[in-house]
């Protein structure tokens, strides 16, 4: 059974999400009204996924909190957002922060359930607009494909392969017997060498270059 930890400023929203998910076979690992305070709570919650309602929050503040807290490296994160640009506007930033899915606040219950189950398995769930933005080759992509001035090191190729399999920083660190800080260093280097703006784009470019085995 997938264990979900819910973060929402509104007590009403928290209660509503808890009721919805518990009625569809999920286990509620806990809940909080403050994203900044959940790191310690997650240690005891043993959650598979953290569902963050950011519909009434400033997107940049939410992303900064997810980034500096490092929660996305230890547990899968799904974010619900409101209006003001739609999910495609922030997809790249969210993926860089390790978020598994960015969904509109009015997402259908079945879609939310499917996204949470996929995230728990380490899969990235993308809104159609995000997929179109990612697969549309930007100006300069062909040039970047031809110009990989500095090749990936064997270790970086190992990390890239694990990213392709959906592994988070914590899992990669454990499997390679290195620190999470070192994993982050390798991921940053991979993004820079491939000219990628996110982990997902790095995997996509790695596949195109034959660096990732499917």
- Domain boundaries along the sequence of the chain: 3-134, 137-208
pLDDT of residue 7: 92
Which H or E run contains 81?
strand 76-81
Which H or E run contains 27?
strand 27-32
Question: What are the beta bridge partners of residue 6?
Answer: 31, 51
Residue 173, token pair as written in the block: 């660190």
Nearest to 191 by CA among 124, 98, 105: 98
CATH topology of domain 137-208: Arc Repressor Mutant, subunit A (1.10.10)
Distance of CA 71 to the CA centre of its chain: 10
Beta-carbon contacts of residue 43 (< 8 Å; ≥ 6 apart): none
Q: How far apart are CA 72 and CA 170, in angstroms?
A: 9
Tens digit of pLDDT at every position of the chain (214 positions): 899 999 999 999 999 999 999 989 899 999 998 888 887 778 777 889 999 998 876 777 787 788 777 788 788 999 988 764 454 556 666 776 788 888 888 888 999 999 999 999 988 887 665 565 555 545 444 444 455 668 889 999 999 999 888 888 888 999 999 998 999 999 999 988 888 888 888 888 888 788 887 6
28 neighbors 50 (Cβ within 8 angstroms): no
CATH topology of domain 3-134: Rossmann fold (3.40.50)
């Amino acid at each position: 059974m997938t264990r979900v930890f819910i973060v929402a400023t509104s007590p009403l929203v928290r209660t509503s999400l808890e009721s919805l998910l518990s009625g569809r076979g999920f286990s509620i690992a806990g809940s909080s009204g403050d994203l900044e305070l959940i790191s310690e709570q997650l240690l005891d919650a043993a959650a598979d996924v953290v569902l963050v309602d950011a519909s009434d929050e400033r997107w940049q503040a939410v992303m900064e909190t997810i980034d500096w807290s490092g929660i996305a490296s230890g547990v899968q994160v799904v974010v619900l957002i409101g209006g003001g640009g739609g999910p495609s506007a922030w997809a790249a930033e969210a993926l860089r922060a390790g978020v598994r899915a960015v969904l509109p606040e009015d997402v259908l219950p079945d879609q939310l359930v499917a996204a949470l189950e996929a995230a728990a398995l380490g899969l990235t769930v993308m809104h159609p607009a995000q997929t179109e933005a990612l697969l549309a080759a930007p100006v300069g992509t062909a040039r970047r494909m031809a110009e990989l001035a500095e090749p990936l090191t064997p270790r970086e190729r190992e990390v890239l392969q694990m990213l392709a399999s959906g592994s988070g920083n914590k899992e990669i660190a454990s499997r390679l017997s290195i620190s999470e800080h070192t994993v982050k260093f390798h991921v940053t280097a991979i993004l820079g060498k491939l000219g990628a703006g996110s982990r997902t784009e790095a995997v996509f470019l790695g596949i195109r270059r034959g660096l990732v085995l499917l």
